[in-house]
A and B are shown apart, each in its own frame.
Chain A
Amino acid sequence: MNWLKQTRRLINEPLLLAMIVFVWALLIVFIVYPILMVGIKSFEPKTGVYSFDVYRALFSKKYFITPIINTLKLGIVVASISVLIGYIFAYSIAKVNVPFKTFFRTVATFPIISPPFVIALAAILLFGRNGIVTRNFFGGVPPFEIYGFLGLVIVETLAYFPTAFMTLEAILISISSDLEEASLSLGSSKWRTFWRVTFPLSMPGILSAWLLVFSQSMADFGTPLILGGRYHVLSVSAYLEITGSYRISYGSGLAILLLIPTLIAFFVQRYWLSRKSYVTVTGKPSVIKVLEPNVYVKVMFTAICATLVFAVFLFYGTVLFGSFTKLWGVNHKLTLENYKFAFTYNWKYIKDTLLLASIATPLCGILGIMIAYLVGRKQFPARRLMEAFSLLTFAVPGTVVGIGYLLAFNQKPLLLTGTALIIILVFVFRELPVGVQNGVAALYQIDRSIEEASLDLGSSSNKTFWKITLPLLMPAFFNALFTAFVRSMTAISAVIFVVSGRWNLITVRILGAVGNSDLSQAAALSYVLIGIVLLAMFFLRFVTINFSYQTKIRRAMS
């Protein structure tokens, strides 16, 4: 009945109806259909023949079982270590008064905005056969095998502990220090207070962070491709099955096996844990008090933070240094040649990446805000389903998306293989959740009665959107644009399936350079990428500072 009423009302609002149909068409063609294709293909070992053969093979041949176990093992270990480190780091910053907080925080977020394989590259530069640590401290014999499980754990932990840190920091800050003080005043020691109050309250956050990092590690493609060695994981195996052996259905099957745990992790995290959270958002800004710990504790926490930050610096610094050296491990003379090379021979990759990401980003942002507005403010049938589908690519590993696009768009009428459009589409729909989530969160914060007040004072709902809602959404919109841009620029796992000779990307080129042991060039290209990301960040700051209403208010104040 409600459904019918909503539908009837929609018919009276043709513009809204058109928007909903448009969004659904896009979601189905560019998100649901490609992923479905991967699933279908995994049941089609030979064209036109449908069977369980692929899965029978995947679960019986050691060749396939090993990557399944490897991926899970790596995910579990990386997630556990990252959460442990992330928790200590977050606790130091949120609850212990460590010095250099802002500095520690900033450095810890480096890995989030930089290309994920920069750390892998650094590991090779440091601990590889020609690594400086290997050469200078271990006489040329690597201290441990960097190509394999251990290397992957170290690199992925450094790359993903910031995710855990950010999640846990938010949770820890939201645990009111009043609770801790109450426990102390009731006679509990700080130690007991931590274990009986703080820790149990942060449990949902810990699980959340664990699942997030687990999914990221499972889905990681760049790191295991560079550092995996003989340690095979699903994402790389799927890629090699398809591009190396042309066994597309086996690649698809592996991708589906990769998809299942990440989907489960996503739904558990999003729909179960988020509900279990003890944190209540009151909207009242509470003053964050920090317990003053004793000197030893403080020194210990500071030392742990400093070590981590040192590691991040070491890794990024090494790559920076590498980008200015002639031939890593052989000739460390400083030179600008790598950059010269990057801007001449590899200029096309830089240019294309910039161009495609710049086209994709605004499209992604606009579509994201549009969906957020529909989902957050309008009533129509299957509204929640639209939201779920638009957020789906958060949960789906890039490898699955990439294979899906490869399968879905290689024949008429949607023959897109080899075009710029297919790369743009991957960018747009892969980063769509960023826009949707930012938009929904921002809308959630805009008191609905603000829009009602505008209607009440005589503005049409159209005018209300342009005059009230949109200006208030602007900061979120810019933020989404920035994140989508950065993630597009540094993306690899999905786009590697759709690049072509005609249209290629820096990230793919960097992987190629690493593969050819042209480490200096890889380092230089990585820093070009980092440079672009930093420029984008300054640009975002400039835009938000000059065009957001909050600045207008701040100006009026002074």
Chain B
Amino acid sequence: MTEYYVEVRNLVKDFKDSSSGSFIRAVNNVSFGVKKGQLMTLLGPSGCGKTTTLRLIGGFEIATSGDVLIDGTVVNDQPPNKRPTAMVFQSYALFPHMNVYENVAYGLKNRKLSTQEIKKRVSEMLSIVGLSGLEKRYPSQLSGGQQQRVALARALVVQPKVLLLDEPLSNLDAKLREQMRIELKKIQSNLGITSIYVTHDQLEAMTLSDVIIVMKDGVVMQQDSPEMVYRYPANKFVAGFIGKANFLEASVVGIEQNRCKLKLISGADMVVGIREGTRFTIQEKVYLVLRPEAARFVKPNQGIVNGMVITRIYTGANAFFEVKTDYGILSVEIQNPTHMDLPEYGETVGLVYDTATLSVVKYE
């Protein structure tokens, strides 16, 4: 037995490319687990295999190899209609010839419940998602946000063990997306339903998730809580994908248990916290991950690197800068800049960083 409610082990999926006839490995040896009641996000750029992974869990694709376990049972051979999962599709996939009530009741009818029971559950669910009164409407008569809610209600009403969501908010406009994100999180945690959520939007992933899995080219890069993914990115790709990051080359000159001493390419020495269990060797070439929002301006030669301001944008709440250094352009983001002395365009400056936000990743 494992501690996980949903688990995938060494999942592999190859697709045949119809034009070239060769195989594409969309999912490459992916393993992870989700605890009961948690919301886990699969995050990664478009084409990295998130949807395929989700579809493998839902039973819409047959894995080339590997296992999917739900509540301790291997479900590899179960077709979607036999799996205890329910999916919210990116396109919503509402049945256009059925009204809201019929759409939501559709799954319940497959479960041989009495008409009364179905009615009760549907109206409960519609009130949870805030659609009471719209039972008789057809999908084409609903707004995008309402369609989204129907899709959610239809999946939730069958009380699945696992809820699967494939970029459910991507078809909504920005404002509605923000609102639905909050609502989705509320509904999910109130119902305590174990969920797997696919998105390419890191902000969405950060707000919603208990656990984030960052994927690239079909491979899992990191699996952690949102805080840890941000604080200790596993590699250069994750550091750049989660939040903003600049990289500065450095080499390791000393290692203590949770810290390492670096010599930066700019010549400066500094000590940076590393995650327990991470291994670096002396003399190893690494990247120091710099977060633009953790930077501060100082006089030249007083920081870790010097440069010249080549972009300066002031928006009131924030100020953005680009600083050209000998080792590349670094971004700087100053929040609440009103009562600060901001450098001018063309000025030479030094930069320092809040050490608690710095991290180190392998050179690649």
Show the binding face of A for B, using Cβ within 8 Å. 2, 447, 449-450, 452-461, 463, 468, 471-472, 549, 552-553, 556-557
Instruction: Flag if B140 contacts A458 (CB, 8 Å).
Output: no
Show the binding face of B for A, using Cβ within 8 Å. 16, 58-60, 79-81, 83, 85-87, 89-91, 93-97, 99, 106-107, 110-111, 136-138, 140-141, 154-155, 158
Q: How far is the CA of A447 from the CA of B137 in the complex (A)?
A: 20
Known: A456-B60, A463-B110, A553-B97. 4 other contacts (CB 8 A): A449-B91, A456-B81, A458-B110, A458-B111
Query: A449-B89, A456-B58, A456-B86 are contacts. A553–B107 as well, Cβ < 8 Å?
Result: no
26 A-B contacts (beta carbon < 8 Å): A447-B93, A450-B94, A450-B96, A452-B89, A453-B95, A453-B154, A454-B106, A455-B80, A456-B58, A456-B85, A456-B155, A457-B86, A457-B110, A457-B155, A458-B107, A458-B110, A458-B111, A458-B158, A459-B81, A461-B81, A472-B96, A553-B96, A553-B97, A553-B138, A553-B140, A556-B137
Set of chain B residues within 8 Å of A2, measured between Cβ atoms: 16
Q: How far is the CA of A220 from the CA of B94 in the complex (A)?
A: 46
Q: Nearest Cβ in chain B — how far from A471, in angstroms? A: 5
When C-beta atoms are compared, the residue in chain B nearest to A549 turns out to be B97
Instruction: Flag if B96 contacts A549 (CB, 8 Å).
Output: yes
Q: How far is the CA of A447 from the CA of B81 in the complex (A)?
A: 18
Q: How far is the CA of A370 from the CA of B65 in the complex (A)?
A: 33
Instruction: Flag if A457 contacts B141 (CB, 8 Å).
Output: no
Indicate the member of B59, B90, B95, B110 with the most A CB atoms within 10 Å: B95
Instruction: Flag if B97 contacts A471 (CB, 8 Å).
Output: yes
Q: How far is the CA of A183 from the CA of B99 in the complex (A)?
A: 45
When C-beta atoms are compared, the residue in chain A nearest to B82 turns out to be A458
Q: How far is the CA of A468 from the CA of B141 in the complex (A)?
A: 19
Q: How far is the CA of A449 from the CA of B107 in the complex (A)?
A: 15
Number of A-B contacts (CB under 8 A): 79
Query: A458-B158, A553-B138 are contacts. A453–B96 as well, Cβ < 8 Å?
Result: no
Interface residue SS majority, chain B: loop
Instruction: Flag if A457 contacts B16 (CB, 8 Å).
Output: no
When C-beta atoms are compared, the residue in chain B nearest to A2 turns out to be B16
Query: A449-B89, A453-B95, A457-B110 are contacts. A556–B80 as well, Cβ < 8 Å?
Result: no
Instruction: Flag if A552 contacts B91 (CB, 8 Å).
Output: no
Query: A456-B85, A556-B137, A556-B138 are contacts. A450–B110 as well, Cβ < 8 Å?
Result: no
When C-beta atoms are compared, the residue in chain B nearest to A463 turns out to be B110
Instruction: Flag if B91 contacts A460 (CB, 8 Å).
Output: no
Instruction: Flag if A452 contacts B140 (CB, 8 Å).
Output: no
Q: How far is the CA of A117 from the CA of B91 in the complex (A)?
A: 48
Q: How far is the CA of A339 from the CA of B268 in the complex (A)?
A: 105
Set of chain A residues within 8 Å of B154, measured between Cβ atoms: 453, 457
Q: How far is the CA of A468 from the CA of B90 in the complex (A)?
A: 19
When C-beta atoms are compared, the residue in chain A nearest to B89 turns out to be A449
Query: A472-B97, A553-B138 are contacts. A456–B110 as well, Cβ < 8 Å?
Result: no
Q: Nearest Cβ in chain A — how far from B65, in angstroms? A: 13
Set of chain A residues within 8 Å of B110, measured between Cβ atoms: 457-459, 463
Q: How far is the CA of A336 from the CA of B58 in the complex (A)?
A: 69
Shortest 10 CB-CB contacts between residues of A and residues of B: A457-B107, A549-B97, A458-B110, A449-B93, A453-B93, A455-B80, A449-B89, A553-B138, A450-B93, A456-B80
Q: Nearest Cβ in chain A — how far from B195, in angstroms? A: 15
Set of chain B residues within 8 Å of A450, measured between Cβ atoms: 93-96
Set of chain B residues within 8 Å of A459, measured between Cβ atoms: 81, 106, 110
Set of chain B residues within 8 Å of A556, measured between Cβ atoms: 99, 136-138, 141
When C-beta atoms are compared, the residue in chain A nearest to B83 turns out to be A456
Instruction: Flag if A553 contacts B141 (CB, 8 Å).
Output: yes
Instruction: Flag if B106 contacts A552 (CB, 8 Å).
Output: no
Set of chain B residues within 8 Å of A460, measured between Cβ atoms: 81
Q: How far is the CA of A449 from the CA of B87 in the complex (A)?
A: 10
Set of chain A residues within 8 Å of B140, measured between Cβ atoms: 553
Q: Nearest Cβ in chain B — how far from A198, in angstroms? A: 31
Q: How far is the CA of A552 from the CA of B140 in the complex (A)?
A: 12
Set of chain B residues within 8 Å of A449, measured between Cβ atoms: 89-91, 93
Q: Nearest Cβ in chain A — how far from B140, in angstroms? A: 6
Q: Nearest Cβ in chain B — how far from A176, in angstroms? A: 22
Q: Nearest Cβ in chain B — how far from A558, in angstroms? A: 11
Set of chain B residues within 8 Å of A447, measured between Cβ atoms: 91, 93
Q: Nearest Cβ in chain A — how far from B274, in angstroms? A: 43
Q: How far is the CA of A458 from the CA of B160 in the complex (A)?
A: 11
Q: Nearest Cβ in chain A — how far from B137, in angstroms? A: 7
When C-beta atoms are compared, the residue in chain A nearest to B157 turns out to be A457
Indicate the member of A447, A453, A455, A463 with the most B CB atoms within 10 Å: A453
Q: Nearest Cβ in chain B — how far from A367, in angstroms? A: 24
Q: How far is the CA of A553 from the CA of B141 in the complex (A)?
A: 9
Indicate the member of B58, B59, B85, B93 with the most A CB atoms within 10 Å: B93
Instruction: Flag if A453 contacts B87 (CB, 8 Å).
Output: yes
Set of chain A residues within 8 Å of B79, measured between Cβ atoms: 455, 461
Set of chain A residues within 8 Å of B137, measured between Cβ atoms: 556
Q: How far is the CA of A384 from the CA of B303 in the complex (A)?
A: 66
Set of chain B residues within 8 Å of A552, measured between Cβ atoms: 97, 138
Q: How far is the CA of A549 from the CA of B138 in the complex (A)?
A: 10
Set of chain A residues within 8 Å of B83, measured between Cβ atoms: 456
Q: How far is the CA of A2 from the CA of B21 in the complex (A)?
A: 10
Q: How far is the CA of A556 from the CA of B98 in the complex (A)?
A: 11
Indicate the member of A450, A458, A472 with the most B CB atoms within 10 Å: A458
Q: How far is the CA of A458 from the CA of B85 in the complex (A)?
A: 10
Q: Nearest Cβ in chain A — how far from B80, in angstroms? A: 4
Q: Nearest Cβ in chain B — how far from A515, in angstroms? A: 51
When C-beta atoms are compared, the residue in chain B nearest to A552 turns out to be B97
